[in-house]
Amino acid sequence: MSSIVKLGAAALLLSVTISGSAFAQADAAKELSPQTKVNLEAAMHGEAFANLKYQRFAEQADEQGQSELAQLFRDSANIEANEHFDREAEALQLGSSSDVNLEDAMAGEHYENTKMYVEFANQAEADGDTKVAAMFRQIAVDEGVHYDAYKAALARLKTE
């Protein structure tokens, strides 16, 4: 095992050991300030992005025959999602009842389907990035499918 991988594994172990303490429980009953909520959301976006990025890096390391490095990336990705993101989501009290969660998911998918990806596609096309524009348009369609699925699930939930 290379010294970089050994150091990375040791840092991951230390991170898990420290984060296993009651830090996240300290303010559980207290209402969070608006800025703390904004900071938690920003942190969660960063952790989610890092998780997926490190998973991609792991796949690339595997393709290059670097299995130890791939495992380091996978271990880091796991901590980003299942430790850091989870603790931040708990502190933010993310999630609610199924109907509220579905409505929240619908709002996000609708925004991505009808506004965000449409604007991204239009800008990419104006910039001459036609392949990226087409990709954004296709993803917008996917987001519409997600919206419809959540909407149908909410309708079923309300009739139960």
What topology is assigned to 98-159 in CATH?
Answer: Ferritin (1.20.1260)
Give residue 121's pLDDT: 98
Average pLDDT, the chain: 89
Q: Residue 157: is its pLDDT beyond 90?
A: yes
Local confidence band at 9 (pLDDT 50, 70, 90 cut-offs)? low
Q: What is the mean pLDDT of residues 6-22?
A: 48
Radius of gyration of the chain (CA): 20
pLDDT digits (tens, 9 = 90+) for 99-120: 999 999 999 999 999 999 999 9
Give residue 17's pLDDT: 41
Q: Phi/psi of residue 66, each to 5°?
A: -110, 75
What residue type is assigned to position 75 of the chain?
Answer: D
Q: Would you tell me the crossing angle of helices 130-159 and 98-111 to the nearest 10 degrees?
A: 160
Local confidence band at 30 (pLDDT 50, 70, 90 cut-offs)? confident
Element holding 14 (H helix, E strand): helix 3-19
Q: What is the mean pLDDT of residues 29-52?
A: 95
Q: What is the mean pLDDT of residues 26-38?
A: 82
The residue assigned the tokens 């999602």 is: 81
pLDDT digits (tens, 9 = 90+) for 54-67: 999 999 999 999 99
pLDDT above 90 covers what percent of the chain?
Answer: 81
Q: What is the mean pLDDT of residues 72-89?
A: 98
